[in-house]
Amino acid sequence: MSYENLQIAVENGIALVTISREKALNALNTQTILELQQFFGEDAYNIEGLKGIIITGAGEKAFVAGADITEFKDLSPAEGMKFAKRGQDVFFLIERFPRPVVAAVNGFALGGGCELAMACHLRVAGEKAKFGQPEVNLGLIPGYGGTQRLIQYIGKTKAMELLLTADIMNADDARQSGLVNHVVPSGAEIEKAREIIEKIAGKAPVAVARVIESVNAYFEEGLDGFWKEVDAFGECCGTEDFREGASAFLEKRKANFTGK
């Protein structure tokens, strides 16, 4: 598929996905959501030797400044539910992607932008990045998982305040509260994200995928995360990479994982 609002560049096994609607501060319109769905639901699985994915925003000002407000100002309740459900489903594709997905947050990450960053497995923020869920200013609440994921990262006390006040958090506060993994000088976000993905690429791919699945299971209703872990552990025991990893340790050499 050709993309209108996503720029995708694959280099050395790492796909850099740039949300490119700079004039609207990379706001997520329907087309962009559909393109994310196409990429994370299908196209990314066809990239040979994929180590991981970085999501960032075009320009220097914004990662993503939210869902595109021009598109939803006249939504009926039923249409609003449809919009929110579709966005949530796409963000689940990101959260459940079997290789690491890192948000390189280069500016405003507000509303749907903060929600997009939270759907990624890890977050690297530039020092000028800003995070927030300002939907109450619009008479709305987050619809792409923000009320749920924010609690997971920063706890109910802080999440409740941020959601109710629409306050904006700077990068350092976001790191201290547990929302982001690293803060780096502006412009170095992608480089740091690449470094993290390269590090993970040296681990056994099946084990990496099962870690993502097991951690996610903690938050999924109806799933027993502890049982998921037992199941995934058993699966890893059946891989060639487990034999290789254990042998390499005992032979005091670097493991050579093949993903089998």
Which residues are catalytic, by number?
115, 135
Burial of residue 157, with CB atoms counted within 10 A of its CB: 0-12 exposed, 13-18 middle, 19 or more buried: exposed
Q: Work out how close the CB of 65 gets to ligand CO8 at its nearest, in angstroms, rounded to a whole number.
A: 4
Nearer to ligand CO8 among residue 108 and residue 257 (C-beta): 108
Q: Work out how close the CB of 64 gets to ligand CO8 at its nearest, in angstroms, rounded to a whole number.
A: 8
Q: Work out how close the CB of 141 gets to ligand CO8 at its nearest, in angstroms, rounded to a whole number.
A: 8
Nearer to ligand CO8 among residue 66 and residue 126 (C-beta): 66
Nearer to ligand CO8 among residue 100 and residue 111 (C-beta): 111
Binding-site ranges for ligand CO8 (CB under 6 A): 24-25, 27, 65-70, 72, 80, 83-84, 87, 108, 110-112, 134-135, 138, 142-144
Report d(CA 119, CA 139) in Å as an integer.
23
Q: In whole angstroms, how large is the CA radius of gyration of the chain?
A: 19
Nearer to ligand CO8 among residue 60 and residue 172 (C-beta): 60
Cα–chain center distance at 142: 16
Q: Work out how close the CB of 30 gets to ligand CO8 at its nearest, in angstroms, rounded to a whole number.
A: 10
Nearer to ligand CO8 among residue 104 and residue 197 (C-beta): 104
Residue type, 137: N
Query: In the bound complex, which residue of the shown chain has the CB atom lying closest to ligand CO8?
Result: 111
Q: Work out how close the CB of 221 gets to ligand CO8 at its nearest, in angstroms, rounded to a whole number.
A: 21
Residue where the block lists tokens 């700079």: 22
